[in-house]
Structure formats: C-alpha cells, structure tokens
Amino acid sequence: MRLKDKVALITGSASGIGKASSLLFAREGAKVVAVDLKLDAAEATVKEIRDAGGEAAAFAADVSKAKDAAAMVEFAEKTFGKLNVIFNNAGVFHPNDESVTNTTEEIWDMVINVNLKGVFLGCQYAVPALLRAGGGSIINTASFVAVMGAAVPQIAYTASKGGVLAMTREIAVEFARQNIRANSLCPGPVETPLLAELLADPARRNRRLVHIPMGRFARAEEMANAALFLASDESSFVTGTTFLVDGGISGAYITPDGDAPQR
C-alpha cells in the first residue's frame, strides 16, 4: 500500500477529484479526513470508504475561513494522531466569471477567497502539523490555465489558480529542508457534475473539447492517481513542481478562431 500509516486531509471531498482521491488514498492505506462545506456530503464519502474497509472521518469546513481551516487540521491530529498529507483541492467556478471588463467585484472576491485564500489557509495551518509529524506532502490544486490563458475568459478563476502556482513554489522552497514537499496539481478539464452543468450547451462543450489533443475530458480518477503519486514516498524528490495532467492542452496550439490547426 502506497500510503500505509499516513494520515491525509482532503478538501472538497464530496465529489469530483476530492471524492475520487479520498477513496483512492484510503484504498492505498491512508487514514482520510474528508472535508467539505457540507457535513452530510463529507459523511457520504466517509461511508463509502468505511464500507470498503478503510478508515476515515468527516469534517465540515469553509476553507476560506481561518477558524475552519485551523479546526480541520486540529481535527485530523486529534482523530488520527498526526497529519502527513494535505490535499487542498476545494475550489469554485462561477458561471459569470468572465472577462476582466465585466466580472463583478463580488464574483472576483468569492472565487479568490475559496480558490486562493482557501489554499493559503490550508497550508498555513497544515505546515505546523506536518512539521510535528516529521514532514509530509502538500498538494494544491491549480489548473492548466495557471500556465496559459484560458480559451474562454474566466479572469477570477485563472488569476486564483496562477496564485496557487506561485504560492506553492514559495512554500516548497521555504520548507524543503524540513522534509515538507509542496506541489501543484494542474488538471485539464475534468468530467464532473459541475463541468457538465457549465457545458450543458453542446456548442460550448465542443469549444472546450477542441483544445484537448486527446479529444476528451479527464476522469476524476485520473487526477486522483496523479495526486496519489505526489502524496506517496514515490515522489520523495519532487517538490515545487507544476504537475500538468491536462491531456496535452498545454503542449498544443490553436488558430485564432479557436479551431484545431489543419495538417
């Protein structure tokens, strides 16, 4: 088991990448603290883990609130005795997050508070716990849009993920000699209920798909596998990285009208 004897805290554990990672980490031997905004949603993930013979506990937290971030880390240590891995995965995307010219201040603040401040707070309270455990792994969910412009304007989301990337590098450098690794997981578009809702219009969906050389969206389980590598000792010399798992998007190019190039 790749995470035997490790305790992992995963935010946004009710669905998508967070849920898939919670289930996978537990199968690989981790004791999982499943964190979500709604306790019943986190408990549903914990039930699946326990039904499969794993160990897990649920906790409700708004990651954008310092008191909640502090409480979730304290809960992990009190429940399982330590913390070895934190996966700051919780995030939001607002459908009215658009161009810099028309995205409202309210939408900007909401997206930045969850996607960037939430990761900052998770790291702020997790690092002392990781140090108490002798070191560990921090995984922060960024995005492929942190390294290239989004095809469809989404200024707050893109800015938040770029901030995660820069912050993770700095944390990696600061704590490298204290046995803490920090890496950014940068997914391409993932087939989740949220994405399905946002791209219910076939034309809008196809506009996203045309940018993906593999011709499909990712599965949450594929992102969980990448996170598992970063959480495990197999990545013991990996820190400060921009871990792109994007189906080739960042290696491709498109024509100005958004079509794939002709050969």
Contact assessment for residue 257 and residue 207, using Cβ atoms and an 8 Å cutoff: no
Both tokens of residue 55?
Answer: 């160990």
Give the Å distances, CA to CA, from 167 to 163, 191, 211. Answer: 6, 27, 27
251 inside domain = no
**How many C-beta neighbours within 10 Å does residue 153 have?**
15
Range of the domain at 153: 7-244
CATH code, domain with 108: 3.40.50.720
pLDDT in tens, the chain (263 residues): 999 999 999 999 999 999 999 999 999 999 999 999 999 999 999 999 999 999 999 999 999 999 999 999 999 999 999 999 999 999 999 989 999 999 999 999 999 999 999 999 999 999 999 999 999 999 999 999 999 988 788 999 999 999 999 999 999 999 999 999 999 999 998 987 667 776 777 777 777 788 889 888 999 999 999 999 999 999 999 999 999 999 999 888 654 455 544 33
249 inside domain = no
256 inside domain = no
pTM equals: 0.93
Determine the pLDDT at residue 253: 63
Residue of 59, 157, 175, 243 marked active site? 157
Torsion angle of C-alpha atoms 169, 243, 91, 125, degrees rounded to 10: -40
Q: Give the integer Cα–Cα distance in Å for 72 and 11.
A: 9
Give the number of domains in the chain: 1
Residue 157 catalytic?
Answer: yes
135 inside domain = yes
Contact assessment for residue 49 and residue 8, using Cβ atoms and an 8 Å cutoff: no
E strands, the chain, are 7-11, 31-36, 55-60, 85-88, 136-141, 180-187, 242-245
